[in-house]
Amino acid sequence: MFNKLGKPFTDFLKHEVERFEVIRNGKFAFDAKQRMLERAQSYAVIEAFRIPFIKIWKPPLKPYLKIIREAERKQVLAREREINEPSHEARAPHTTERHREELKMALCTFTIQYIESRRLQMMALIAAWAALVLAIVAIIVSLLTSCS
């Protein structure tokens, strides 16, 4: 059943996103976050193409939406803790946690976006094939009616 997340997707969440540090050596590393977002897009594509053709018509989006809801809740809590800390050093763990949750939400939204994009591409492909078949049938019918 394809209601479960793929192994590359879950490995990326566990081993890469959960270990992500936005503050290194006392400085913000937003370039590292940008690189992580770019990597998240590649994992989202892998996850979207893992779903078989038959399941693409009703894709299993619940696991991704569940991760987004949980990450959003944790992000709000981290932001509240971050605001209540007096010093920059004390805010660092909460800032990192908030950015980790943003990465999780981005990964899941990218995945949903690619799943929907793939579904629309399949619909366009089927419509194109149907138009081709109808055009061939119309040519055959016009040839048969002009011969008789």
Give Cα 143 to chain centroid, integer Å: 49
Provide the pLDDT for residue 1: 41
Q: Give a yes or no: residue 82 inside a domain.
A: yes
Give me the domain span that covers residue 45: 7-147
Question: 71-83, pLDDT tens digit by residue?
Answer: 999 988 888 887 8
- Find out whether 22 and 32 touch, Cβ atoms under 8 Å: yes
Provide the pLDDT for residue 25: 66
Structure tokens at 24: 């290194």
Q: Give a yes or no: residue 38 inside a domain.
A: yes
Provide the pLDDT for residue 22: 75
Q: Give a yes or no: residue 25 inside a domain.
A: yes
Percentage of the chain exceeding pLDDT 70: 89
Question: 8-64, pLDDT tens digit by residue?
Answer: 888 888 888 888 887 766 667 777 888 889 999 999 999 988 888 788 888 788 889
Q: Give a yes or no: residue 77 inside a domain.
A: yes
| Backbone dihedral angles phi then psi of residue 23, each to the nearest 5 degrees | -115, 120
Q: Give a yes or no: residue 1 inside a domain.
A: no
- Find out whether 48 and 111 touch, Cβ atoms under 8 Å: yes
Mean pLDDT value across residues 111-126: 92
Q: Give a yes or no: residue 16 inside a domain.
A: yes
Euclidean distance between CA atoms 15 and 19, whole angstroms = 6
Domains identified in the chain, total number: 1
Per-residue HEC secondary structure of 50-108 comes to HCCCHHHHCCCCHHHHHHHHHHHHHHHHHHHHHHHCCCHHHHHHHHHHHHHHHHHHHHH
- For residue 60, give the nearest of 51, 69, 72, 68 by alpha carbon: 51
Structure tokens at 44: 């989202």
Q: Give a yes or no: residue 117 inside a domain.
A: yes
Structure tokens at 124: 């366009």
pTM value > 0.85: no
